[in-house]
Structure 1
Amino acid sequence: MARARADSDSAAELTPLQEAFWRRYTVHFNATQAAIEAGYSPKTAKQQASQLLQHPAIAHRLAAWRRDVREVSEKDRALLINELWNIVLADAGELSELRRVSCRYCHGIDHQYQYTPREWAAAEQQHAKECAEALATKAEQPPPLNPQGGVGYNPKRPPATDCPECHGDGIEQPFYHDTRTLSPAARALFVGVKTTKDGLEIKTLDKAAAQEKLMRHYGLYEQDNRQQGGGLVESVRELIQAAGLASGGPLRPDPGNGRPDDGDDDEED
């Protein structure tokens, strides 16, 4: 009896709208958007999508589609899943970071302004030029240079806790790492660098989107979590455990996840 019902579902004819819906749904798994793209009214698309996903013929075709997808080479599939894991687990600090470095007064003598060697050399050159001009014009000689806190400012030194100028906070300094030495995870996250009027902008892929795809892959999306906004922490914990991280095991995809989606994964209420 059950076999007969399955055969009936497989052979059931779909309307052009229903056919368009399930095909669009397999593109992005957003049921409401798929209904709109298929031609349903945006006003009723969410309700229509929920009903369409429960349609026996559509559910049967989606299940068959998932089986076909799972027949893709396990090697290629593992590479794709591993790339998603790289994006999710990548440390953005490998690309750029905000550092707190010493200010000009942190390590100067008596916490006075401290010069770099090049700055002091430029100051001496300028002073010598002014002295020569004063001598040529018989003008009053400029006062001697004042080294203040001395020479040797190094911004890589940590801030001084007793600095009266920055009070130990130092100054903010954005730092961009050499992308030639990135780890595989950071390399997967990194897209490129854009020069803007405010400086460099590191462009990366969306870690949240990659995490969402992995959660869907491992079947961790539940309708009540989406509707009530609960279970996120538990879902993330299950996601990590599914990849073997909790026990220190290797990251590898689970070929048997195949759970059908029953709602709008990407919809916001």
Structure 2
Amino acid sequence: MKDLTQRAPNPTKKNENDLTDFQKRVADEYLVDGKAGPAYRRAGGKAKDPYRSGCEIVGNPKVDAYIRERQAEIAHRLEIDAETVVRRWWEIATADVNELVQHRRCACRYCYGDDHRYQWVDEEEWQEACRQSEAAGTPRKAPSNDGGYGYLRSADPHPDCPKCDGEGDAIVFVADTRRLGPQARALYAGLKTTKDGMEIKTQDQAKALENVAKHLGMLDAKLNLGIKEDDSLTALVKAIATGGKREEQSLLPNED
């Protein structure tokens, strides 16, 4: 038998934040990903244009105040402040992508061989090549070892090599991501295996730098560079850029 004492929630009833139950649900969903349309749909909204309806709710001053209050509570629990966020963006924006992946010009097989002949890593590699020649369906001459042994792929190209003209071989090197430094780790966003091989994914460095600039008030509506010298976060970025020496000049060029 249905319990008549239990009533369905009233979507228009105001709660302690002076929001309706539905407004609060939308706001709570918005805190998940910061997207008004999906938040409206997840909260149970039925409007034909969820994006517009969601933006109207999120843009309501009381809803906006509730969202900001919740964000502050979350940041406090996680011990996140503006300095932490800006520093993280700065690490991404200034990270050296060469710590993750490198395009190298390395010695070819003839660079350091005797008289610039083909050089093997060791005798075992040469003997394996000989066995493969013997086992081939079409007989072929065993490879020579006149160039000697000791090939090191990571060596720089020999400038006088007649085979590669001192340019070596092009090699793509991917770092061991377990041993990345703090900045490279912040930049690294994972990898994806495709039909063409591995694809290293990184955070958007230009976007990170733009976020820093926006938070410091360096970008006005016309996208002209400007700076607020009394902004504490501006002083933070100066300190980061100069290794903690806040008295040194900022990253912005002088207009003199």
Q: Which TM-score band applies after superposition, normalised by the shorter structure?
A: 0.5 to 0.7
Could you say which residue in structure 2 is the equivalent of 1:112? Answer: 117
SS of 1:51's equivalent in the other structure is helix
The Cα RMSD (Å) is 4.9
Could you say which residue in structure 1 is the equivalent of 2:215? Answer: 218
CA contact under 8 A between 1:87 and 1:210: conserved in structure 2?
no
Could you say which residue in structure 2 is the equivalent of 1:14? Answer: 20
Matches within 5 A, 1:110-149: 110-119=115-124, 122=127, 146-149=144-147
| Percent sequence identity over aligned pairs | 29
Could you say which residue in structure 1 is the equivalent of 2:10? Answer: none
Alignment deviations for residues 13-58 of structure 1 (CA, whole Å, 9 cap, x no partner): 4252x33221111121122332232334585123223322332321
Could you say which residue in structure 2 is the equivalent of 1:257? Answer: none
Structure 2 CA distance for partners of 1:221 and 1:26, relative to 1, 3 Å: farther
Structure 2 CA distance for partners of 1:89 and 1:33, relative to 1, 3 Å: farther
Could you say which residue in structure 2 is the equivalent of 1:65? Answer: 70
Matches within 5 A, 1:1-269: 12-14=18-20, 16=22, 18-40=23-45, 44-69=49-74, 71-72=76-77, 74=79, 77=81, 81=85, 85-119=90-124, 122=127, 146-179=144-177, 181-189=179-187, 201=198, 206-207=203-204, 211=208, 218=215, 231=223, 241=234, 243-245=236-238, 248=242, 250=244
Structure 2 CA distance for partners of 1:121 and 1:185, relative to 1, 3 Å: same
The CA deviation at 1:215 is 5.1
Structure 2 CA distance for partners of 1:70 and 1:209, relative to 1, 3 Å: farther
- Within 1, Cα distance between the matches of 2:15 and 2:62? 5
Structure 1 unpaired stretches of 5+: 1-7, 131-142, 251-269
Code of the aligned partner of 2:58 = L
Q: Looking at secondary structure, tell me which structure has more helix per residue.
A: 1
Structure 2 CA distance for partners of 1:121 and 1:61, relative to 1, 3 Å: closer
Code of the aligned partner of 1:24 = E
The CA deviation at 1:89 is 4.2
Q: Which moved more, 1:176-185 or 1:187-196?
A: 187-196
Structure 2 unpaired stretches of 5+: 1-13, 135-140, 245-256
CA contact under 8 A between 1:10 and 1:60: conserved in structure 2?
no
- Within 1, Cα distance between the matches of 2:142 and 2:32? 75
Code of the aligned partner of 2:208 = Q
CA contact under 8 A between 1:103 and 1:170: conserved in structure 2?
yes
- Within 1, Cα distance between the matches of 2:218 and 2:43? 24
- Within 2, Cα distance between the matches of 1:122 and 1:42? 74
SS of 1:244's equivalent in the other structure is helix
Structure with greater contact order relative to length (CA < 8 Å, sep ≥ 6): 1
The CA deviation at 1:63 is 3.4
Structure 2 CA distance for partners of 1:59 and 1:86, relative to 1, 3 Å: same
- Within 2, Cα distance between the matches of 1:216 and 1:53? 25
SS of 1:98's equivalent in the other structure is strand
The CA deviation at 1:98 is 2.9
CA contact under 8 A between 2:121 and 2:152: conserved in structure 1?
yes
The CA deviation at 1:103 is 0.8
Structure 2 CA distance for partners of 1:183 and 1:28, relative to 1, 3 Å: same
- Within 1, Cα distance between the matches of 2:16 and 2:216? 24
Q: Aligned pair count?
A: 215
Q: What TM-score results when the alignment is normalised by the length of structure 1?
A: 0.54
